[in-house]
Structure 1
């Protein structure tokens, strides 16, 4: 445990220099308040307290003295002259390292600074601008200039998702034990360095025994820590086990320190075997072995490549790298199969999030159709890659389970990104149909104009008036605007309802063109395109018929149903229903071309 008095002494020297504080003012205000010690203790030893703020403010007495206050939050007062922000590099301060290497501070002006110092700074905005523009920004620019940007982005993503869930344990040492260690001057301290009278002192021995019990309690908190990989991100699970191994190693180093060894030797000499035996059987060795076996999988896990992928191609490469590592390490790690399945679903969650992030930068509904289709093709490759590597992973997982004779676990993955995949496929099909409609009308307008030119003057005039009344392309564009500004990647219930309403508006607007297709003059003009559309639908129906003729048992759907452990009859019914739905879609396309009649 880091003693707050050490931090107090350091801050006292710092404030004298940075805030030009007077020793008397600090003693009369800051150090005389009991809450100050409590706040210092929380800052040094509580991982939840990240910062300290010390404020210098003017008094109403105008006697030349100042108030100094300390807090874990910043408050704004007109009497504030200056503020020092103090942050720590780690969750807790380590008593074995210099304090100046573990904290950093920032000096900020208060609103009352202009009354005491000659300055042109007139506002907090100027102070903030100066701090960021002349300190933080140049520091960041210099760092970026000497490092790879993608590597920086990856590290930033790690920090974003990093959860420090393992508390750092510092075992309290009795002052007499500490003095004995210092007296030994680097040699191994033995009970000879302890006063003989103390070796028989019941109060002293009971205090040591109480310390050992508190050590056991604190160490067991770390040993018994675990987590469910289905809660949170993949990188949080990875960091948890890596951090736990580090924490256990630090505990082991403390246990092997002279202070702990001497304490246990004294208790053993006094025949307090209950405390020493309990401490020896705490289970640290077994915990370290278990975590080490888990970390065969966690070490060098390339999840950062997925979280920081800048484009769809990199996402695909990251998935391949992740499961190449996974399938290799899974054969030699002791990480449980049940946790492994949850971790794969967490990877799917990460895939879902990074796809939304990357695709969100494209503005999918605004893209030129050619560029849109290129992106969609790349995304389709990502989903196909996922299906392939999951099949391979499933086979490896089953082999590992049989090899280790583990209790049977159903190998079933429920990908989080399934709904996003369905939405992307739907949007791709929607834009494809819209583009076909748009291009059909563009090409048909040319044919219509050519057909009108060969009519007599009266018919030509009537048809021209009819055609000119409708700006076909403008109406199609207006219809498309109803869906253009919707976040199509948001699959929440609320945004799905918004999309459905917009799609209904779009369909209402474009449905009128079905009637145009059956008018004699227009129909003759679009006959060529009509035949092409019908031929395409016929080919699609033919492919669907061949798929149905091959029977369910020879289909890829049967294989996927087995992977997901679906009953055969259920898989068959789902397969048949999907074919029926697809057939209805093709029939609807014919209806759109020929009309309901």
Structure 2
């Protein structure tokens, strides 16, 4: 790109003659070559001396960057060209605009791209930009998409109207059709929604540029759409004007005598003349005041601008009626006793009521935020604009003069404006081709917009009904239409967008499912021998079917657009039907080849994602019913197992072996059944697909399963256990540790020493431990009892073992040994007796409990060992004595040996510290003597 300092040498500047030929070849097709404008006439105009100087300056001067070429009809007083052409051509530098051009005045504007002379070694297309500007309409006039309102005040000439409308239409077309879309496309490339964090400083200003472009476009459109309010032109009599001049210049009071109009009061012709003028004033003012009953225009901005302009016009009329000319005229008529004329003027022009009505309406129309909708650059801004507009519309409460039915009609018109704005904003996207996640976000914003609109309309309608009742709803008041009767134009585009979203969602889901279900090298796809290749073929065919919609304009909701949408949908469905047909053949062949229910379940679990397609779902219905029956049988089996009760189940016996208490075991058992039931239900989902609960068979199975799960609820077992514990004896750590109980035996009652520790307490802390592990919240009191019992449980078990050992050991002591073990038995009994010592009982909370339990266990163990040792040694002695008693040839030496061995055992007993050993030895000696004596 060249800069302003890049000025080419004179030798490199484009010759003027070459530039003239370029203008001739470029402009003639634009102006229209024919009888009206000939090539020779155009060429002669360009070669004119004045035109040549102008063209030379444009070509060679770096500072001159704009050239205009005008083509316009020759005026009657213009010198006709020599060739007789009815059109003239002229050129000028810079931008020139003169109002009042005649129809057919066309302008082509050439703009240099760079501040430099035109170089002859570069093509002019790269050095110039060309714009066409029509300053007037041709024969039929240009009709742009702005639908400009054509109400005229009657004061401007026809040429000026054509001039203004055509020029603004051209500028609007450039902005609307070229500049704004170009900026939008530039923004899409340089400011993508997916990467808003890595934008340069220049790029960050693009949203502001887009908004300003939108505001410019809107301003141009509104200027063309404004309804012209006729200007009130009050014509005054020259004599009255002279008198008014005296009032203004010399401050003379408005008085007939002071103004020298006494003679005129008696001049009938003069009075009749000014009275006729007053009558014309009434008609002139009524042209404005009667506009209050004008029907609603085509757009919301036209309505807003209409009331604003009407308000300004009425205020201007009010100011004119305060002028000296009006006051002097009315004073003359009053002095001439033309009372009817003055009274008629005051009552007939209707300015007061009109001002009052418009003033009330202006509370609603003033600062109306319609631009927040019309200048929005994205859907979110549009949604915010809708909220602002409807919030403003609540001012209808104080705008008593604004008709309520007109307000609802305004909402309908706003719906039309909303439709155009939504289409305009969505037009920059290719709704068929953009990625689905971006499309989904866009549609989500549209859903929020339309939901907000309907909510706001419903709220406004309720307010309107309330105001209708408050204002009386008289016979003269137009009846309000029903909310459902309002014609909202945006509904069509809303329905189309929702249909398009549903269509694209189904398409993306189908593509996803086919890729996931049929993709992969180990997957049997549409063709079992081709695997992944057939998956690619299916995806290609689906994509091709979708590609047919690329030619569709999804925002066209006209009759032709609806037909095109239906036809393309039908073509798409035909392609998808072929793909579904191959999938159905593959699926049914695989299901038919299965040998058992488990294999069939595996096939269904793989393909069930495809069951959202009605054809595929109906094709496998026979296999589904077969598997559903299997599931029903399994559910019935679980129900029978539950009815058999946990106590009689194999799980109960297994739990006992694993030291799992009964309640925790029952809870685990119920959870296990529930888990199996849920697994069966997941199998149902794999068979019937997502939403299986809505299926006829699935609904019945779901109801039965929910009823079964309600009975299985482990919480019920837990709650019942908590309630039962309320009647169970509570473990009290203040109780003594041992207790004497009476047992009934065949020989009568018998006292028994037991540990004062309830076995249910043992079960309790085991239950608490397992239930907490299962996630249940055990009541605090039970938890504390279990904790206490758990801490004392080892002592209780040790005491119980000691008592059992002591009892069994005492039963083994024979009367002959009682003397020997008396000391050990006595110390055990003394230790046990401490428990029952009055005032010093051993209790579970005692600090010395551990020492006591250990001491008792030690003494019982010693008693047990002494008794075992005594019994062993006495058994050996008995064996030796028996050998002597039964031997017939025992020699003296053999007897001596036996006696030595017996003495050794006796010595061991003596060394072991047995008490009363002398008694035992005496009895033993007596026994030996008896044996030897025999």
Short-chain TM bin: 0.5 to 0.7
2:584 counterpart residue number: 518
Tell me how far 1:78 sits from its aligned partner: 3.4
Name the CA shift for 1:174/1:529 in 2 (closer, same or farther; >3 Å).
farther
2:501 counterpart residue number: 428
Question: Does residue 59 in structure 1 map to residue 136 in structure 2?
Answer: no
Q: Secondary structure at the match of 1:471?
A: helix
Question: Which of structure 1's runs of 4+ aligned residues deviate more than 4 A?
Answer: 52-58, 79-85, 107-111, 125-132, 194-197, 227-231, 465-470, 521-529, 539-542
Question: Does residue 385 in structure 1 map to residue 452 in structure 2?
Answer: yes
What is the CA–CA distance in structure 2 between the aligned matches of 1:258 and 1:223, rounded to whole Å?
Answer: 22
Name the CA shift for 1:258/1:523 in 2 (closer, same or farther; >3 Å).
farther
Matches within 5 A, 1:482-501: 482-501=548-567
Among 212, 233, 240, the alignment partner of 1:170 is: 233
Question: Does residue 272 in structure 1 map to residue 335 in structure 2?
Answer: no
Among 211, 215, 218, the alignment partner of 1:154 is: 215
CA RMSD across the alignment: 4.3
Q: TM-score, normalised by structure 2?
A: 0.42
Question: Does residue 409 in structure 1 map to residue 476 in structure 2?
Answer: no
Equivalent pair of 2:74/2:87 in contact (CA under 8 Å): no
Question: Does residue 374 in structure 1 map to residue 441 in structure 2?
Answer: yes
Tell me how far 1:148 sits from its aligned partner: 7.9
Q: TM-score, normalised by structure 1?
A: 0.64
Among 88, 97, 101, the alignment partner of 1:78 is: 88
Greater shift, 154-163 or 203-212, is seen at: 154-163
Question: Does residue 451 in structure 1 map to residue 541 in structure 2?
Answer: no
Q: How many residues align?
A: 439
Q: Secondary structure at the match of 1:78?
A: strand
Summarize deviations over 1:328-380 as a string: whole Å, max 9, x none. Answer: 44355332221121112222222222111111111111110110001011111
Name the CA shift for 1:269/1:299 in 2 (closer, same or farther; >3 Å).
same
What is the CA–CA distance in structure 1 between the aligned matches of 2:81 and 2:210, rounded to whole Å?
Answer: 54
What is the CA–CA distance in structure 1 between the aligned matches of 2:392 and 2:518, rounded to whole Å?
Answer: 57
Question: Does residue 313 in structure 1 map to residue 467 in structure 2?
Answer: no
Question: Does residue 214 in structure 1 map to residue 280 in structure 2?
Answer: yes
What is the CA–CA distance in structure 2 between the aligned matches of 1:130 and 1:512, rounded to whole Å?
Answer: 54
Higher Cα radius of gyration: 2
1:439 counterpart residue number: 512
Summarize deviations over 1:61-92 as a string: whole Å, max 9, x none. Answer: 99xxxxxxxxxxxx97136688975449xxxx
Summarize deviations over 1:535-580 as a string: whole Å, max 9, x none. Answer: 33436779xx9xxxxxxxxxxxxxxxxxxxxxxxxxxxxxxxxxxx
Tell me how far 1:424 sits from its aligned partner: 0.9
Among 670, 690, 693, the alignment partner of 1:536 is: 690
What is the CA–CA distance in structure 2 between the aligned matches of 1:174 and 1:541, rounded to whole Å?
Answer: 92
Q: Secondary structure at the match of 2:519?
A: helix
Equivalent pair of 1:54/1:84 in contact (CA under 8 Å): no
What is the CA–CA distance in structure 1 between the aligned matches of 2:108 and 2:209, rounded to whole Å?
Answer: 38
What is the CA–CA distance in structure 2 between the aligned matches of 1:173 and 1:54, rounded to whole Å?
Answer: 40
Tell me how far 1:514 sits from its aligned partner: 1.4
Matches within 5 A, 1:3-22: none
What is the CA–CA distance in structure 2 between the aligned matches of 1:239 and 1:541, rounded to whole Å?
Answer: 59
Summarize deviations over 1:94-139 as a string: whole Å, max 9, x none. Answer: xxxxxxxxx9xxx99999xxxxxxx99xx9x98975999xxx99xx
Equivalent pair of 1:311/1:358 in contact (CA under 8 Å): yes
Name the CA shift for 1:241/1:230 in 2 (closer, same or farther; >3 Å).
closer
Greater shift, 173-182 or 226-235, is seen at: 226-235
What is the CA–CA distance in structure 1 between the aligned matches of 2:499 and 2:108, rounded to whole Å?
Answer: 56
What is the CA–CA distance in structure 2 between the aligned matches of 1:61 and 1:357, rounded to whole Å?
Answer: 48
Equivalent pair of 2:73/2:86 in contact (CA under 8 Å): no
Residue segments in structure 2 that go unaligned for 5+ positions in a row: 1-71, 110-116, 119-123, 135-169, 180-204, 592-601, 613-687, 700-934
Question: Does residue 507 in structure 1 map to residue 573 in structure 2?
Answer: yes
Tell me how far 1:212 sits from its aligned partner: 1.0
Residue segments in structure 1 that go unaligned for 5+ positions in a row: 1-51, 63-74, 89-102, 112-118, 454-458, 546-597
What is the CA–CA distance in structure 2 between the aligned matches of 1:110 and 1:56, rounded to whole Å?
Answer: 24
Summarize deviations over 1:487-511 as a string: whole Å, max 9, x none. Answer: 1111110111112111111111121
